[in-house]
Amino acid sequence: MKKVFKRLLAGLIIAAVLLCSLWFLQRLLSPKYANEIIEGRLISEYYDNAGGNDVIFVSDCECYENISPIKLWEDYGITSYIRGSSQQLIWQSYYLLEETLKYETPKLVVFNVLSMKYNEPQNEAYNRMTLDGMKWSSSKWNSIKASMTDEESAITYLFPILRYHSRWSELSAEDFEYLFSAKKSFHQGYLMRVDVRPVEDYPTVTPLADYNFGDNAWYYLEKITQLCKDNNIPLVLMKAPSISPVWYDEWDSQIKEYAQKNDLLYINFLERLDEVGIDWNTDTYDNGLHLNLSGAEKLSEYFGKILQEKYSLPDHRSDPEMSARWQKYVDFYNEMRDDQYRELEEYGYLKSYGARAPK
Amino acid sequence: MKKIICFVIALSALMLAACGGGSESAGNAEGSKYVFKTGNVTVAMNADAENVIANLGEPKSYFESESCAFKGLDKQYTYSSFIIDTYPKDEKDYINAVTILDDTIATPEGIRIGATVSQVDTAYGSDFTVLGEEGRSYKDGDAEIQFLVTNGLVSSIKYYAITGLN
């Protein structure tokens, strides 16, 4: 009896050691997105401060680089979070929203419509940046199934070590430094850039074979609309002001029609550049694809006013507890802004923030 | 107990075994019969763009855009009768698309903007996917050529790179 117990114990210890080793290796080999491609950390950072937001944005870079939740707080006392990720596809937005509603019940959801142009899974690298960062839930699993390209397999999402095992030869200091912790880089989901690279030229618009959004894209837009309805949350559709990728008039008409049919507010900020005050000489850091801090603050100031007036969003600035919480975010925001200006002064570009050196 | 240990060892072996690393490649080494030609310059999809762009001379306009998150620039070179788009990979640029803008240039198969649908069918055959109502998409190797058709006539011709085939 004693012998059996000893063997059982030894077996359990061996199994536990092996499993721990695998878990450790998986953590070590998975990308940390610490200093390069930092967008890979956008999704996971949410869980550190989940909850307590009146507005949730779900979107690709058209929100997380163009809207500043800190500015919304400072000007209007609106609490918000951007659940954004690079090339976030509409089904990923849906499942992220579904997951977010398990953590909190916002008073408003904003969805940026550029991703309607994609009807099918696109790219594993972008999928990884959205999906790997999500905590395990049915929403994550469904998002994986909806997002995988033909070359991908679900098991590599269950066990990322299967995908990343070959990274052992590329391991760097950051893989060890951020083995059990993550760098903090974002401001309620906003990615800050203070540098300026003005618009010098516009892309040539080429015709498309078919301007109709695909069935799959419509299906998930309808699911987002329904999810918001089921939870009594108003949904706002927006198109960020960016000159590329091209937003075709034919696409815009379809969204306008959908918004009207479903009684949703839709704002195409490309039509309101003057009202917002966007100056393409000063308000973009990458020739008009994304806004820099100056542009994002202008857009947030303009958009925040509309949202607060139309949806009676509360001003939380008089709430001491909320104010204390947000003051920490404001301090971090100001600290990063000052540091970016310092780097610009010192190096001529944002060396440690992923910017490319001037030509 | 042996079963548990065997399972864990098998799982470890599975995880550490060499499995698809998933590195992307720039197109298909086999190429495609669908290439764009202008003067003496042949433009194949997924080809290294450096020599192509150098041989085409100064474009009328140039637009570049950073891709979200990843390094490198998507570039667009607009010439008087066509546009070339490139994509970045491993610090090089590759041909992503060519758009013919007017009827001064024909495809090597002899189709230009303004051609009829039946002329397209004669030149390219019947193995196509319909685009919109009357348009045609032909694929071969790592390239696709699309003919957009308006009122029975070709209104746009575009070559696309098909990436990630290897």
Decide: helix, strand or coil at residue B36.
strand
**CB neighbours of residue A177 within 10 Å:** 13
Burial per residue of A49-81, b for 16 or more beta-carbon CB atoms within 10 angstroms, e otherwise: ebeebbbbbbbbbbbbbbbbbbbbbbbbbbbbb
The answer to whether residues A131 and A76 touch, using CB atoms and an 8 Å cutoff, is no
- Give the dihedral sign, CA B59/B62/B67/B70: positive
The rounded distance, in Å, linking the Cα atoms of A75 and A151 is: 46
Predicted confidence (pLDDT) per residue in A77-127, tens digit: 999 999 999 999 999 999 999 999 999 999 999 999 999 999 999 889 899
A76: CB partners within 8 A, 6+ apart? A304, A305, A307, A308, A313, A315
Length of chain B: 166
Nearest to A42, CA basis, from A30, A25, A20, A60: A60
- C-alpha distance from A11 to closest chain B C-alpha (Å): 6
Which ipTM value was assigned to this complex? 0.70
In A, residues 47-76, which contact B (CB 8 Å cutoff)?
60-61
CA A212 to chain B, closest CA, distance in angstroms equals 9
Closest CA–CA distance from residue B71 to any residue of chain A (Å): 8
How many Å apart are CA A166 and CA A179, to the nearest integer? 17
Is residue A171 assigned to a domain? yes
Counts of helices then strands in chain B (DSSP H, E) = 3, 10
Radius of gyration from C-alpha coordinates of chain B: 21
Whether B130 has its CB under 8 Å from any CB of chain A: the answer is no
Integer angstrom CA distances of residue B129 from A243, A342, B147: 31, 55, 10
Closest residue in chain B to residue A167, using alpha carbons only = B21
Take residue B74 and report the two structure tokens written for it.
């998507």
Domain assignment of residue A301, yes or no:
yes
Contacts of A159 in chain B (CB under 8 A): 15
- Asked if B4's CB is within 8 angstroms of A206's CB, the reply is no
Question: What does the pLDDT read at residue B15?
Answer: 53
> Which residues does B17 contact at the CB level (< 8 Å), separation at least 6?
none
The most distant pair of C-alpha atoms in chain B lies apart, rounded to whole Å, by: 77
What pLDDT digit, counting tens, does each position of B13-63 carry?
Answer: 555 544 433 333 344 446 899 999 999 999 999 999 999 999 999 999 999
For residue B60, the Cα-to-chain-centroid distance in whole angstroms is: 22
Q: Do A40 and B69 touch (CB under 8 A)?
A: yes
Kindly report the nearest CA distance between residue B106 and chain A, in angstroms.
17
The verdict on domain B25-161 having CATH code 2.60.460 is yes
Rounded Cα distance between A222 and A275, Å, is 30
Q: Is A19 on the interface with B (CB under 8 A)?
A: yes
Q: Quick one: closest CA in B to A155, which residue?
A: B15
State the average pLDDT for chain A: 94
Instruction: Give the pairing of strands A265-268 and A235-239.
Output: parallel
HEC profile of A285-341 = CCCCCCECHHHHHHHHHHHHHHHHHHHCCCCHHHCHHHHHHHHHHHHHHHHHHHHHH
Whether A18 has its CB under 8 Å from any CB of chain B: the answer is yes
- Look at residue A18 and tell me if it is in a domain: no
Percent of chain A with pLDDT over 90: 81
State whether residue A151 sits within 8 Å of chain B by CB. Answer: yes
Strand-pairing partners, residue B89, are: B92
Mean pLDDT over residues A44-69, rounded? 96
Structural domain boundaries enclosing A112: 31-353
* Contact partners, residue B126, CB within 8 Å, separation at least 6: none
- From the number of C-beta atoms within 10 Å of its C-beta (0-12, 13-18, 19+), residue A232 rates as exposed
Tell whether B161 is within 8 A of chain A (Cβ).
Answer: no
Distance CA A135, CA A81 (A): 17
The DSSP-derived string for B93-156 is EEEEEEEE-STT---TTS--TT-BHHHHHHHH-S--EEETTTEEEEEETTEEEEEEEETTEEEE
Residues 254-283 (A) with a CB less than 8 A from some CB of B: none
Q: Is B91 on the interface with A (CB under 8 A)?
A: no
Tell me what the mean pLDDT of segment A8-26 comes to: 92
Q: Which residues of B touch A356 (CB under 8 A)?
A: 66, 71
Does the beta-carbon distance from B63 to A201 stay under 8 Å? yes
pLDDT in tens, B81-99: 999 999 988 889 999 999 9
Q: B73 to chain A nearest CA, in Å?
A: 10
Per the structure, the count of domains in chain A is 1
Contact check, Cβ <8 Å, B21/A166: yes
Asked if B155 lies within 8 A of A207 by C-beta distance, the reply is yes
Kindly report the number of other CB atoms within 10 A of residue A5's CB atom: 9
List CB contacts (< 8 A) between A86 and chain B.
68-69
CATH number for position A118:
3.40.50.1110
A119/A213 Cα distance (integer angstroms): 7
Are residues B131 and A129, on separate chains, in Cβ contact within 8 Å?
no
DSSP state of A86: T
**Segment B102-142, tens digit of pLDDT:** 999 999 999 999 999 999 999 999 999 998 888 999 999 99
Check CB contact of B61 with chain A, cutoff 8 Å. yes
Which has the closest alpha carbon to A90: A65, A122, A64, A67? A122
| Total length of chain A | 359
Distance between CA atoms of residues B15 and A165, nearest Å: 8
Nearest chain B residue to A288 by CA: give it. Answer: B65
- Each residue of A321-349: pLDDT tens digit? 999 999 999 999 999 999 999 999 999 99
Confidence band for A358, pLDDT divided at 50, 70 and 90: confident
